[in-house]
Amino acid sequence: MPPRKAPRSNPQPRPTPVPPPSKLRPILLLLTGGFLAYLTSHLLAHFNVFPVPIALHDSIQKEPLRIVAVGDLHGDYANALAVLRMAGIANRKGEWVAGRTVFVQTGDIVDRGPDTIRLYKLMQNLSEQAVTAGGKVIPLLGNHEVMNMMEDYRYVTPEDIESFGGLEQRKRDWGREGWLGKYLRTWDIVANVNGTIFLHGGLHPKWAHYGIPTLNTESQTYLQTLPPSKLYHVPLFGGDGPLWYRGYAQDDERVVCKTLENALNALKAHRMVIGHTPQLRGEILSRCKNQVLVIDVGISSVYGGNRAALEIVGDRLVGVYEGRREVIAE
């Protein structure tokens, strides 16, 4: 289990600075006869029906499966919704249209912009609607969610505070008994979907060896039981932890790719998808022979309003951008 005590360390500030989904081979119904099987397969493909994922706590294991991942949103509802529409996740009303797709958001929905409440309500609604459609939404915590639970408001805008009705009301809503605080304290920090590891910052082998269930359980325990001032002391939320680590996005590949390989081996996984480190060119960054993909492209207008999402179907990785799709690997 990760240690529960460590010297105090303050959070590190961040640097300032669709087309329709691919057709997959569907699960055939239990029909006999080659013609019926052939007809069923092609009808399902025509209507973009995807296999139902098995919803486990930390892993989904069913293939073929369409996964869409989106990085940091930072308080910008308009650009966030534009990306979700572009990736075939939501319509203009913010309603789920992705069928049995698994949608992963890798954290940092809050801060730098004014639309905190609208964005978390959007995630709540999409999560409920996805279940009805046979899909799944996996929202993950970023360092900025945890910073707000620590009552670190360095990146909170005045408009954000006003939308809650003032700072004191905002504190209550983000607290352990507040409507938003309770909701976010149920979120995980790491997810495994068919061998792809999703999280905000990056999972160093130091933490990967604990395993995903332990990391998520520990994170939720800390957030649900400790007061804001005590959260600063939790090593899991520190600079080399899953929410803050930037090595896979920034360090020399000659060194860091081996570190990444050790982490993936510990988790028996194929690749890692992370946010946190903005790619201001607006392009998804692929490193270590496509074993790590950085999907924080600066969606918020604070970073330029770049729009991109990552689509994964088996080993096929596609960057989804406005008006185009770029194959990263297949």
Domain borders along the chain are: 53-329
Would you call the peptide bond into 64 cis, given omega within 30 degrees of 0 as the criterion? yes
Whether residue 42 is predicted with pLDDT greater than 60 in this model: the reply is no
pLDDT tens for residues 102-157?
A: 999 999 999 999 999 999 999 999 999 999 999 999 999 999 999 999 999 999 99
At residue 255, the pLDDT reads 96
Whether residue 17 is predicted with pLDDT greater than 90 in this model: the reply is no
Token pair belonging to 210: 């604990």
pLDDT tens for residues 232-253?
A: 999 999 999 999 999 999 999 9
At residue 99, the pLDDT reads 98
* pTM flag (> 0.85): no
CATH architecture entry for 53-329: 4-Layer Sandwich (3.60)
Sheet holding 66-70, edge to edge: 136-139, 102-105, 66-70, 308-313, 316-321, 324-329
Task: Work out the average pLDDT over 155-162.
Answer: 98
- Please say whether the dihedral angle defined by the alpha carbons of residues 145, 147, 151 and 157, taken in this order, is positive or negative: negative
At residue 112, the pLDDT reads 98
At residue 44, the pLDDT reads 34
